[in-house]
Structure 1
Amino acid sequence: MYGHQAIRNMSPAYPQFFRAAEGALITDVDGNEYVDLMCSWGPIVLGHRDPVVTQAVREQMEKGDCLDGPGPVLVDLAEALVDAIDDADWILFGKNGTDATTACLTIARAHTSRAVVLVARGVYHGAAPWCSPVPAGTLPSDRAAMGYFEYNDQADFDRAVEAAGSDLAGVMLTPFRHVEGEDQELVDVEFARHVRRRCDELDALLILDDVRCGFRFAHGGSWEPIGVSSDLSAWSKAIANGYPLAAVTGRESLRDAASAVFLTGSFWMNSTPMAAALATIRRLDAIDGVSLMQRAGARLRAGVLTQAADSGLTIAYTGPDVMPYMTFAGDVHHERMTRFAEAALASGVYLHPKHNWFMSCAMDDAVIDRALRATEQAFAAVRRHFGPR
């Protein structure tokens, strides 16, 4: 196996293959059932096999999926997303988050006729050569027009802007800083506003990589609540509740550039994922899915913090409630977190020791309480093995 699902990068205790899922639960091929705190690495936002989405998929499959062109569902979905997302005047579709972030990069360069795009150090934007976290097989030239700065550091950002000079095409940012194995960092609102001002001053584009966060923070762009707008946004993961789809949204002024670049894929126009996405977006709106996930996340956070304190263990629980991450103090090599994850797994909760977790709308109070019973056992296992700290 490869990528983030390569079991060689995880504890041997982890199952590699799964056979079924329902709601907030997932079952491996040996019949073990877990509360799924990874939500399939983010795509599951309503819950596994949500009945409304499943029905929409079945109805579309009866009509067709991979045709010579898109079905009318593309228009319905595009209109629904443009209505939901304040910064969207148009939309184009792809398959994966990397498709979307790379398209944003290309459109920004086409629109500005400039080369340099700035990103925060260490932040994940996909698996293409320009952004892959693993350098094997890539060339220095793949990143020759990339610039880097520290997230939430205005002075370092301004330094990177000055280094780019008149060749600055845009800035790509995630809604908050999430780097594998490190504590998460919420965006400083003044930093976000500063980036917006500098982009406006320099006629550069602000690109929001909303692949991981989209439709969990807000029913629209993740920076909508802080009042910072983007020029381009990249979407995937939760957009279709587990069906393969990605999207780029942008302002009217960028329509010509988006039309000029060559973007395509043999399966990019498949209708089934679009039907799933349309059902997902409508259902999230109807049930106020963001509030449901925030409630579940707040309950999980409160429970985990109480358990850690009761165990005499010092932890950091960082990031937003809907996408939290936990670390132990002094756990440089993630030994404590690995032991915690193994014990949680044995007690029926699937989480990752180095990656943020995700909430879904299927996580009601009973599910969170079930998860907390497992994390209580996990804290006890860490204390037994390492002692209080």
Structure 2
Amino acid sequence: MTASSNLSVNGQRLWDSLMEMATIGATDRGGCNRQALTDLDRDGRDLFVRWCREAGCSIDVDAMGNIFARRPGRNPDLPPVLTGSHLDTQPTGGKFDGVYGVLAGLEVLRSLNDAGVETEAPLEVAVWTNEEGARFSPAMIGSGVWSGEFELDYAYSREDKDGRKFGDELARIGYRGETPARARPLTAAFEVHIEQGPILEQEQKQIGVLNGVQGMHWYDLTLTGQPCHAGPSPMTGRRDPFMGLHRILEQLYRLAESHGPWARVTFGDIRVEPGSRNTVPESLTLAVDLRHPEQPVLDAMDRSFREIAAAAADEARLEHSIRDEWRSPAVAFAPQCVAAVRESVAELGYSNMEMFSGAGHDSVYISRVAPTSMIFVPCEKGLSHNEAENAEPADLEAGANVLLHAMLKMAAST
């Protein structure tokens, strides 16, 4: 048969699959705790693999544990059209972040099977390992190794808070595959995802057409002073790291405001040494996250951050250092993939808007080696990385329908 605009996914089956996957690692507050390379991650992977085999897919697992489920096309020599996301979650994560992109991809394959549609190019659904970075830092390391951003040995050496190594845990759960973890030709790659922000909901739009992803810089800022007793030491004579910190926080918030509305600054973690209630600390280390979708603006924010930190440390008579933990440059998605999404949305008649992603996704790394784009759907109140994360079944179905038709455009169905 010929694929047409009335071809659609089975929304109820997609929802049922999401709810069944959500039972693996379910939390008391309605979320999921299925962190990378745990037994629960293995159980989620096993369920996905079983579903894919039942749908007639072949399965390949690479050396990073990335899973590729393939539905053959008429021409096996053509590079596949790929979709997918991740199954790992935050410790207090939700039911939809990442897993929606994986199971929407599976639903596309199931629906094509139901309709008897054959594509010229093969279709694949990927599960990328450790996208969240909650257990092993950095985030998105599975797709990062595959795309050439990280070396395999570096990934294997990463340790969790208990000292367990990534490579050892990957082997332990049985997903350390033999296929080399490196990029291969793709016709196109798509990822559908909940927005993880409030913009679509506020604008009352059902689909976000993604033009790119914000650039992200992660840093560890350390301020070092002199420890002393909290009682006898006068305020005026102290070399207290917090005296420099408050100046830095205030100025960085102003910096983000000056580059609005897309600039972001976040301070997600702070460590204090020696960490005694009645001792002025010797040092503190602050995790700093800067983001902007335009790389020149992000570079300017980087320079301003360093100047602000140096000036504040000098004024407070502190030493300071900035360690670059991770850099992900701003991404502009491939025009042909964005167009496929845009045209599919128009044909299907969904309300939509063009936007950038404020969060990192595996598509960031995939886009460096293959034509890539993303599709967003709303999530309730913009909440994500939260057990209350929620999305409407109709929106999830709409996003999967857009994914279906965008993939068909790139794979040439018959």
* Fold equivalence (TM over 0.5): no
Q: Which has the higher helix share?
A: 1
Specify which structure has the higher proportion of strand.
Answer: 2
